[in-house]
Amino acid sequence: MKPAHPRLIPIINIARCTGCGWCVSSCHLHLLSLEVEHGRKTSVLHDADTCTGCRKCAAKCPFGVITMGERDAELTVMPPESR
């Protein structure tokens, strides 16, 4: 499958992610999952190279914590206290 936006992948702000799972259910390739990190459930992108950049996860997120960014960018935005 040809990437829709070949250079863009979801960037998840895990400091604001509520772990609701809406983005996980929107990914037709099943590249997102919910994982517990630092005692909180958050969304995590797996296999960024397979991501087509369709933006469905960003559109589905009710809290606006997923933005689309360059594949070279950091995959998740860590809270300042955990860096």
* pLDDT in the model for residue 3: 53
User: Would you say residue 26 lies in a domain?
Assistant: yes
d(CA 46, CA 39) in angstroms, rounded, equals 20
User: Would you say residue 24 lies in a domain?
Assistant: yes
* pLDDT in the model for residue 1: 55
Which CATH number is 37's domain given? 3.30.70.20
* pLDDT in the model for residue 6: 59
User: Would you say residue 2 lies in a domain?
Assistant: no
Residue 3 phi/psi, 5-degree rounding, is -60, 135
User: Would you say residue 3 lies in a domain?
Assistant: no
Structural domain range at position 41 = 8-82
* pLDDT in the model for residue 2: 55
pTM of the model: 0.76
Report residues of the chain scoring pLDDT below 70.
1-6, 72-83
How many domains are there within the chain?
1
User: Would you say residue 47 lies in a domain?
Assistant: yes
User: Would you say residue 1 lies in a domain?
Assistant: no
Going from the C-alpha of 56 to that of each of 16, 52, 78, 83, the distances in angstroms are 18, 10, 22, 28
